[in-house]
Structure 1
Amino acid sequence: MNVNRGADKRKKYRWLWISGFVIVIVLVVGYPIYQAFQAIKDPLRERQSPYREEQIDLTKKEPFSLLLLGIDTNGRPDTTMVITVNPEHNNIKMLGIPQDTRVKIARSKNWDKISDAYQEGGAELSMETVEQFFGIPIDYYVSINTDGVEELVDAIGGITVENQLDFSYDGQHFAKGKIQLNGEEALAYMRMRQLEPNGEEGRQQRRYEVIGEVIRTGANIRSLTHYDQIATTLMNNVKTNITISEMIKIKNNYKEAVQHIDHISMEGTAEKINGIYYEVIRAEEVKRIKGILQKHMEYFRD
């Protein structure tokens, strides 16, 4: 596979929080950003997952899945995340897949990094590869350019978080206690690691907090000014295969699930194979994750 691997940095969770914004857009905002979705829609709309015998019926509140892709300035995926939504359970499950994760690329005999699927075949091949890896259908995808990071939080008017640690990072000071963050500050708040006494776990918790606040803030948006800002951000930074009619059905039938988000952790080990470092997920762990996702989607096809 002709991919310049370079010095791959491990970015397991850098874009985790963006998924919260996507959920807000799809489940809460709905029709007021119709024109934005007309601009960001992707031709990959008629695809039906080979793991589905028929298309899901959103009017019947059937569980569905979404693949979130964060795309960096070089056109490479910086994030691959599986999101499943079950309205009967009134919750969402989110699984971040490290970009170095070793998988068998769909339509190929090659085992490579999950990020290479996008490089080889865009969103469609990424969807197929994730489906193959976990044995579940991926119904939709949303891709977001990293250039829109600060815009996404700013578009909803900022967020409020309960900071557990007084620290300074990237030219910003974050006092302990309840603080208001704009887009630039939210990005710095999530990135800090060196001063975190709980290491990566502490940083992940800050990111999870930001996700929740983005969702809660977005769910309460009523201002037309905010809608306009969100629409502009979407048009500049997002692509999706969710149609307008599907978006409206999701808004009407699934938005209660936005209040309850469960994060799934996946365990792996760093290994060097043929001179390349990968995150290797053992078969037992893949089986465990597969079981969680299948149960949440009420999907039990072998």
Structure 2
Amino acid sequence: MNRKSRKKKKKWLKWVLISFSILFVGLAIYLFTIYQSLNSATDKMHNPIDRDISTKRSEQVNFNEKDPFSVLVLGVDEREDDAGRSDTMIVMTVNPNEESTKLLSIPRDTLTEIVGRGTQDKINHAYAFGGIPMTMDTVENLLDIPIDYYLQVNMEGFEDIVDAVGGVSVDNNFSFDSGGYSFPEGELKLDGHEALAYSRMRYEDPNGDFGRQERQRKIIQGVVREGASLNSLWNFSNIFDALGNNIKTNLTFKQMVDIQSEYRSAASNFEQTSIQNGSGERIDGIYYYVVPAEELTAVQTALKEHLDI
């Protein structure tokens, strides 16, 4: 190889190294920006509550030891001059040893004891009476399992989350109209406004509250699916802003990182269940969903087994 050729080769290698260096620095800056944005969003989301460890646990959940745990997911409608109601109530149990996550939907009209008030009422009224702590205590008492963490979603702001991930796709079981929109049967792509109207329809559904819960789970799964896609990486700022503004949880950033690291396999295997075999009854003119004792016992047993209790 002559001197001129060697010189050209060195020059080419130099530009390759410079290009890779620029690419590496740019990637590092981009990842650091994502980390900072995520950290900022989770700081806004973090909302610790004044509630001791559950009496149904002997010690705190340890994510590094892959302990099974539970999360109460609440979709809350909060209006001006109103404490609000927990419009959606889902108990999520996660077992990394079984590599599975169970989602149990609780009908909002379920008749149960409101812990802290000593009264029987609709379970979704617990939020209006005592916020997150009373709701967690009431659900814990109903299901006879520890409720370790909570995740509260502002349903009005849920539109922003759906729009931030670019909309969601759902498989709609039957045609209906809701909130000024028409939803034909089949695969649908929904923006934020449409997703909220789709998830809120209740009275036209032949399955009533159960059908509504199923549509809400479809929207949530759609958000998770779209949020995890590569396309969302370029829109991370809007996604994190939407999450930070509309979600509250007592999970810390470190705990979220631990869950992502230690429970990833469980998060990919969802099983959806609901409290069924109950009946709608009117008591003093008010509608309640009454769950038979044997049905409640079966649900409690399944959840305890999944939490290794």
* TM-score range for the pair, normalised by the shorter chain length: 0.7 to 0.9
1:150 pairs with 2:196? no
Tell me which residue corresponds to 2:140: 131
Tell me which residue corresponds to 2:56: 51
Answer with 207-216 or 103-112: which moved more: 207-216
1:73 pairs with 2:117? no
Tell me which residue corresponds to 2:292: 282
Match for 2:40: what amino acid? Q
The 5 Å alignment of 1:217-236 reads 217-221=226-230, 223-236=232-245
- How far the C-alpha of 1:176 sits from its partner, in A, is 5.5
- The C-alpha deviation readout for 1:32-86, integer Å capped at 9, x for no partner, is 5111111121131773111110001101111110011121133222122211111
SS of structure 2 residue aligned to 1:80: strand
Answer with 96-105 or 184-193: which moved more: 184-193
1:117 pairs with 2:122? no
Q: Distance in 2 between matches of 1:144 and 1:92?
A: 19
Q: Assess, with a 3 A threshold, how the Cα gap between structure 1 residues 272 and 83 changes in structure 2: closer, same or farther.
A: same
Tell me which residue corresponds to 2:283: 273
- How far the C-alpha of 1:169 sits from its partner, in A, is 5.0
- How far the C-alpha of 1:218 sits from its partner, in A, is 2.0
Tell me which residue corresponds to 2:14: none
Retained in 2: the 8 A contact 1:153–1:182?
yes
Q: Distance in 2 between matches of 1:123 and 1:202?
A: 25
- How far the C-alpha of 1:116 sits from its partner, in A, is 2.4
- How far the C-alpha of 1:120 sits from its partner, in A, is 2.2
The structure with the larger Rg is 2
Tell me which residue corresponds to 2:18: none
Counterpart pick for 2:91 among 69, 82, 97: 82
Unaligned 5+ residue runs, structure 2? 1-33
Retained in 1: the 8 A contact 2:105–2:213?
no
SS of structure 2 residue aligned to 1:38: helix
SS of structure 1 residue aligned to 2:156: helix
- How far the C-alpha of 1:256 sits from its partner, in A, is 2.4
Tell me which residue corresponds to 1:5: none
Tell me which residue corresponds to 1:298: 308
1:241 pairs with 2:246? no
Q: Distance in 1 between matches of 2:227 and 2:120?
A: 39
- How far the C-alpha of 1:161 sits from its partner, in A, is 3.4
Tell me which residue corresponds to 2:23: none
Q: Distance in 2 between matches of 1:46 and 1:129?
A: 13
Answer with 184-193 or 115-124: which moved more: 184-193
Match for 2:135: what amino acid? S
**Relative contact order (alpha carbons < 8 A, sep ≥ 6): 1 or 2 greater?**
1
Q: Distance in 1 between matches of 2:100 and 2:36?
A: 22
Match for 2:97: what amino acid? E
SS of structure 1 residue aligned to 2:103: strand
- The C-alpha deviation readout for 1:83-116, integer Å capped at 9, x for no partner, is 1111222221111112221111223432222122
Q: Distance in 1 between matches of 2:178 and 2:283?
A: 36
Retained in 2: the 8 A contact 1:45–1:243?
no
Q: Assess, with a 3 A threshold, how the Cα gap between structure 1 residues 111 and 178 changes in structure 2: closer, same or farther.
A: closer
TM-score by length of 2: 0.77
Unaligned 5+ residue runs, structure 1? 1-28
Alignment RMSD, CA only?
Answer: 2.8
Q: Distance in 2 between matches of 1:247 and 1:260?
A: 18
- How far the C-alpha of 1:234 sits from its partner, in A, is 2.2
Q: Distance in 2 between matches of 1:117 and 1:179?
A: 34
Tell me which residue corresponds to 1:103: 112
- The C-alpha deviation readout for 1:19-40, integer Å capped at 9, x for no partner, is xxxxxxxxxx988511111112
- How far the C-alpha of 1:258 sits from its partner, in A, is 2.5
SS of structure 1 residue aligned to 2:108: coil
Counterpart pick for 2:261 among 245, 252, 255: 252
Q: Assess, with a 3 A threshold, how the Cα gap between structure 1 residues 277 and 66 changes in structure 2: closer, same or farther.
A: same
Answer with 213-222 or 146-155: which moved more: 213-222
- How far the C-alpha of 1:215 sits from its partner, in A, is 2.4
SS of structure 2 residue aligned to 1:147: coil
- How far the C-alpha of 1:284 sits from its partner, in A, is 0.9
TM-score by length of 1: 0.78
- How far the C-alpha of 1:225 sits from its partner, in A, is 4.2
Q: Assess, with a 3 A threshold, how the Cα gap between structure 1 residues 114 and 234 changes in structure 2: closer, same or farther.
A: same
